[in-house]
Amino acid sequence: MLGKSFQIAIDGPVAAGKGTVSRLVAERLGFLYVDTGAMYRATALLGERHKIALDDEVSLVKLINKAKIEMRNPTNGEKDGRLTTLLLNDEDVSWAIRTEKMSKGSSAVAVLPLVRKALVKKQQQIALGQDVVMEGRDITYRVLPNADLKIYLTASDEVRAKRRQLQLQIRGQDIEFEKVYSEMIKRDKQDMGRKSDPLKIVPEAWVLDTSTLEIDHVVAMIVEKVKIMQESS
């Protein structure tokens, strides 16, 4: 796209399909896909490696500010199932941050206001001057408040829990549906009840319920909408 960059901001609860949809939309449009959740996982990894408690907000922010965090679409040599490539101080940690331990760690650091503020700055820097599809929990109103297209991607609780269970099974983790469901509901309450940047639907967001929609259909809908917006601008 020539001229002004185009920003797509996508929010939504866990297992709504944000990652897969965002990555495919970015691929179709030639945009950079930015998974902000991966940055919270990277923060948890930094804390573990430096033996910093995940509730030690001041120390974690110092680590974040010193760290070099980069994101890029996977190169041909990196197409191993990942949705994005995350480099932490020039080290590819794309899979190191995808463990269940880092998932829980990301939830712990995500409730810390100063950590969120520090990572929002890095996320905004990544999006500066380029076409992006950025997804997370506070993108539409905190990270990219002036995004060209804002989307809230969701699905029913049962569908999301089934998707989450499948994700874990693919990674070799055999967890009962009831446990996955209860942990997901707990995560939802945590995300929506967070004092700093809670998960919410902004008035101007396009709400997409993916419960009964195929991924390709959702991607096609978003791509078509973006193309119409670009042509009319």
Task: Place domain 36-129 in its CATH homologous superfamily.
Answer: P-loop containing nucleotide triphosphate hydrolases (3.40.50.300)
Q: What is the pLDDT of residue 173?
A: 85
Cα angle at 22 between 17 and 24, to 5 degrees? 105
Q: What is the pLDDT of residue 2?
A: 40
Instruction: Give the torsion through C-alpha atoms of 193, 168, 29, 221, to 10 deg.
Output: -70
Q: What is the pLDDT of residue 138?
A: 95
pLDDT tens sequence across 143-195: 999 999 999 999 999 999 999 999 889 888 889 999 999 999 998 998 999 88
- Tell me the pTM: 0.90
Q: How is residue 64 written in tokens?
A: 């974040």
- Spell out, as residue ranges, where the chain has pLDDT lower than 50: 1-2
The residue whose two tokens read 């010193």 is 66
Tell me which of 3.40.309.10, 2.60.40.420, 3.40.50.2300, 3.40.50.300 is the CATH number of domain 1-31+131-233.
Answer: 3.40.50.300
Residue 142 is classified by DSSP as: I
Residues forming beta bridges with residue 32, ordered by sequence position: 132
Check if 1-31+131-233 and 36-129 are the same fold: yes
Looking only at the bridges linking them, the beta strands covering 7-11 and 149-154 are parallel
* Per-domain boundaries in the chain: 1-31+131-233, 36-129
Q: What is the pLDDT of residue 43?
A: 98
Give dist(CA 155, CA 157) in Å, integer.
Answer: 7
